[in-house]
Amino acid sequence: MITLKPFKAIRPQKELVEKVVSLPYDVMNIEEAKEMAKGNPYNFLHVTRAEIDIEELKNPYSEIVYKKSKENLYKMVDENILFKDKEPRFYIYRQTMNGRAQTGIVGCASVDDYLNGKIKKHEFTRYEKEIDRINHFDYCDANTEPIFLTYKKDEVINNIINRWTEFHLPEYMFNTKDGVKHILWCVTDNLVIEQIQLQFKKVDSLYIADGHHRTESAVKVALKRRAQFPNYTGQEEYNYFMTVTFPHEDLYIMDYNRVVKDLNGLSEMDFIEKVKENFLIEKVEGQFKPEKQHTFGMFLEGQWCKLEAKPETYINKDIISRLDVSILQKYLLHPILGIDDPRSNKRIDFVGGIRGLAELEQRTISDMKVAFSMYPTTIEELIEIADKGEVMPPKSTWFEPKLLSGLFIHTLDTEYLL
């Protein structure tokens, strides 16, 4: 049984929505964030990445940054750039990219459902990254960005969504520069709100698709508040965190590619010979993007090659060992290139598939030596692994399109924003 709760969203005025919304805080560096928000005081990066507004900042995780985030958020409310709905609502959010649509319900999930394992994760988090969003949410007293969840296909929920979107006008409809179309409907009918809540009570589990660090951070802020207020009832807003929850069949996982700084002291010839122990290698004309599992592209010294894992690397293996990210790590990155822990090793970097293979080529020219293109992990693999209570290797999934920030905000317990 899953608890999904409507809430009073803080959201942009309709005429300003395209100026307010931004990409999530964690898909760009500070220079890119500054450029994206340049000349636009409404851009929500002024809240999620407030360091862009502080000159000569030495530490992006200092208290001054979180205070600035709060100041910028409250200023946007004071100036009526953002306003708060008067009644709790669900919202329906549709994104269409390259003709493919994903439509989810915006609401608040229960901290206790996460703590009790009903909201399942598929990757580990790093505490130092959690600390940043813990401080950000705590100072802002709000979930400023949503968690990206998914549920196994449910015809009743899908029918509710389809009926509402067919017969009601959207609140917002616009395209972003990346060509993605965004539509948001407000669900204002109390009967429909109740139907959504009741149907989610019949759902066994939700799965985190993207946003593990934000989830952990939101939960730890809630636990902190519970410790501060031991007589809490469980109904306080901080006991819930903002999510967009999509049916699993809507989701699109892209490749999450790898680039490595050097050949670990090997010559190119010696490196190739070691790779041949567990992979078949074939030079190809032009770029190579894998079209099936257990194949990989490798770009080295200006040449693309197709790598095909030998059957003994994946036959009769458990589901995690069969993942392409596991095969590449176990049979190439670790034993040959010395990448022992991809989560912390500074010689490896990860490139989301949305950047294309040209980005991999460019990285081998600018700061890396060899690149690997991957076949995407599937949503079915993610769900199976999460159901087993296990976790994927780091950087296994890259979801597109990304959820926009600034389209809706969930306040916790501050009277100022309530």
Per-residue pLDDT of 303-328, as tens digits, reads 999 999 999 999 999 999 999 999 99
pLDDT of residue 417: 56
Q: Is the pLDDT of residue 381 over 80?
A: yes
pLDDT of residue 413: 78
C-alpha distances (whole Å) from 202 to each of 114, 118, 196, 197, 387 are 16, 12, 10, 9, 17
C-alpha distances (whole Å) from 355 to each of 254, 285, 289, 397 are 10, 21, 13, 14
Region 193-220: mean pLDDT is 97
* Distance of alpha carbon 314 from alpha carbon 322, whole angstroms: 5
Instruction: Give the start-to-end residue ranges of the domains of the chain.
Output: 4-252+400-411, 253-376
Q: Is the pLDDT of residue 88 over 70?
A: yes
What top-level class would CATH report for the domain 253-376? alpha beta
* Distance of alpha carbon 10 from alpha carbon 407, whole angstroms: 8
pLDDT of residue 414: 58
Region 276-289: mean pLDDT is 97
Radius of gyration of the chain (CA): 22
Q: Is the pLDDT of residue 266 over 60?
A: yes
Which class for 151: exposed (0-12), middle (13-18), buried (19 or more C-beta within 10 A)? Answer: buried
Of all residues in the chain, what percent carry a pLDDT higher than 70? 99
Chain-centre distance for alpha carbon 249: 17
pLDDT of residue 399: 94
pLDDT of residue 127: 84
pTM summary value:
0.93
Region 358-379: mean pLDDT is 97
* Distance of alpha carbon 1 from alpha carbon 218, whole angstroms: 21
pLDDT of residue 164: 98
> Any residues with CB less than 8 A from the CB of 384 and at least 6 apart, and which?
319
Tens digits of per-residue pLDDT, 383-407? Answer: 999 999 999 998 999 999 999 999 9
| Total residue length of the chain | 418
Q: How much is the mean pLDDT over the chain?
A: 95
Region 43-67: mean pLDDT is 95
* Distance of alpha carbon 355 from alpha carbon 300, whole angstroms: 18
C-alpha distances (whole Å) from 391 to each of 246, 323, 378, 381 are 21, 12, 14, 11
